[in-house]
Structure 1
Amino acid sequence: MSSEAGSLERAMRRALDLAATPGVPLGPNPRVGCVLLAPDGTEVAEGFHRGAGTPHAEAAALAAAGDAARGTTAVVTLEPCNHTGRTGPCAQALIEAGVSRVVFAQPDPNPEAAGGAQTLRAAGVTVELGLLEREARRLNRAWTFAHEHGRPFVTWKFATTLDGRSGAADGSSRWITGEAARRDVHRLRASCDAILVGTGTVLRDDPELTVRDALDQPLPPELQPLRVIMGTRDVPADGRTSNGAAETLHLRTHEPVEVLAALHARERQHLFLEGGPTVAAAFLAAGCIDEVVAYVAPKLLGAGPHAVGELGIGNIADALDLEVEDVSVLGHDVRITGRPRGRN
């Protein structure tokens, strides 16, 4: 690797670290970082996007650099935007600042913002793309998925015993897994902007559906994931999903596609599915589950409800096949994370 290539990669990794700065809202905007390099490869300035309505990463870096931005290379995790929203187009800001080259990781999948590379080239700026693109896409995987597919990315979480039971036959088991696994669920909730259960779960368990146990203190209501209830039955107005701990949306439908369309219209990009076996089966049958996180407890019950309802699969050749991405031990339990084969 040449010294220049090494400098660019180090700058891009720094930009990715900046983009992942803790505390940045999950959406609706992507996480973006930018590093400005002088011709000799030294860093001039850096910046990152802090959420909707704040300066974009490029604008923040340009402001920090001032006149020193002229002649620099801008290393950015996402293609500079080409539209005017709450802030002006970053492609034009880079041109006006005299930046001579732009290296970005991921093309912008948002048709309203894409086209920055073309604008930059038309102004005589050298443009290169694709450096650490996989890492950049992973950083904004839900945002990217939502723009490419027109719906939120769906993670289905469930807990089960070794024999596939989600609870005891007499209804006595509140928890299948231990404390470490339950804290991990809250960590995953915090990475999503919507949590969904069916009306059956609300009526049976009265869950609060908020992020609590994985953080030093609970998230304020405005930063909590949207609580989504799916189903046509009424739910108690004095239940925990109706408290002020987070916003709640009741979608009176049994169709996953309708639910996802409604959430996409609200700019929600990552749905955490925690519903019971009927809701899970509906999303699986609709082909609307993109990731599975299963917490398996080393217990045997022999009876009780299953984690998923009837899927109409009668032959092992037709089974939903998951590509396992991670297996971790959490206390006495095992977490298995996978995606349906064939999904990006």
Structure 2
Amino acid sequence: MSVTLKLATSLDGRIATASGESRWITGPAAREEVHRLRAIHMAVLVGVDTVIADDPELTVRLPGYVGPQPRRVVLDSRLRIPPACKLVETADRIPTIVVTTKDSNDRLTDAGVTVLQVEASDGRVDPAAALAALEAAGVGAVMIEGGGQVAASFLGADLVDAVEWFRAPIVLGDEGRPAVGAFPLKALAAAPRFRRLSIHEVGDDLWERYGRS
């Protein structure tokens, strides 16, 4: 199982304003590259808070694209995913998985959603358990797209293999929402460490690519 973390941030590492506004921090060229990244991953993963805030489709939308769509995966410990969201409404056409710590329910399964129950860690879906369940379901490469606490949980568990970071030339300040939430770190030496592989200009934005050190 390979895990890629995709970030789309301001220069100061924020993914949204304090009010939650996030569309669009990066420009159209960067967003097109994100769609290409989705196309080469078997699954795209987000937390339920991202679904509630943004109602994303998490599909590949490129001109002329006819390849398979990645599976859409939502980490949702308490099954809060709205039944009217795009992911649930299109689950009968595009594979959609909810990973939870709760028992499944008919409103999701009847809509075509696959529900995977895993163990909890501090009240949330355990990231290692989620990856194990996805691997057992046939997912070999996943890209994490949000939000900050999901990114923190996978980084804190040392489960991220690569980072695709798109940085826009704007500054949102301290009250903006961070790309990576809090996770325990007792010493600098214990911090997840990556090596920069490349930097590309994509429109007005920068695309930095990192791999494990």
Question: TM-score by structure 2 length?
Answer: 0.82
* Residue in structure 1 matched with residue 122 of structure 2 by the alignment: none
State yes or no: 1:167 paired with 2:16. yes
Out of 88, 107, 115, the residue aligned to residue 242 of structure 1 is: 88
Q: What is the alpha-carbon distance in structure 2 between the residues aligned to residue 315 and residue 329 of structure 1?
A: 34
* Residue in structure 2 matched with residue 85 of structure 1 by the alignment: none
Q: What is the alpha-carbon distance in structure 2 between the residues aligned to residue 298 and residue 313 of structure 1?
A: 29
Gaps of 5+ in 1: 1-151
* Residue in structure 1 matched with residue 198 of structure 2 by the alignment: 326
Q: What is the alpha-carbon distance in structure 1 between the residues aligned to residue 3 and residue 21 of structure 2?
A: 29
The AA in structure 2 aligned to 1:248 is T
Out of 61, 68, 74, the residue aligned to residue 229 of structure 1 is: 74
1:22-33 aligned at under 5 Å gives the runs none
The AA in structure 2 aligned to 1:230 is L
- Deviation of residue 258 (structure 1)? 1.2
Q: What is the alpha-carbon distance in structure 2 between the residues aligned to residue 283 and residue 172 of structure 1?
A: 24
Question: TM-score by structure 1 length?
Answer: 0.52
The AA in structure 1 aligned to 2:6 is K
* Residue in structure 1 matched with residue 156 of structure 2 by the alignment: 285
Q: Which has the higher contact order (CA 8 A, sep 6+)?
A: 2
The AA in structure 1 aligned to 2:64 is D
The root-mean-square deviation of aligned C-alpha atoms, in Å, is 1.5
Q: What is the alpha-carbon distance in structure 1 between the residues aligned to residue 48 and residue 21 of structure 2?
A: 20
Q: What is the alpha-carbon distance in structure 1 between the residues aligned to residue 130 and residue 192 of structure 2?
A: 22
1:325 aligned counterpart, secondary structure: strand
- Deviation of residue 217 (structure 1)? 4.2
Q: What is the alpha-carbon distance in structure 2 between the residues aligned to residue 157 and residue 218 of structure 1?
A: 23
Identical columns (%) = 41
1:330-341 aligned at under 5 Å gives the runs 330-341=202-213
The AA in structure 1 aligned to 2:149 is T
Out of 31, 50, 53, the residue aligned to residue 201 of structure 1 is: 50
1:108-257 aligned at under 5 Å gives the runs 152-212=1-61, 214-217=62-65, 219=67, 223-233=68-78, 234-244=80-90, 245-253=93-101, 254-257=125-128
- Deviation of residue 282 (structure 1)? 0.8
Q: What is the alpha-carbon distance in structure 2 between the residues aligned to residue 196 and residue 228 of structure 1?
A: 5
Which structure has the highest strand share of the two? 2
Gaps of 5+ in 2: 102-124
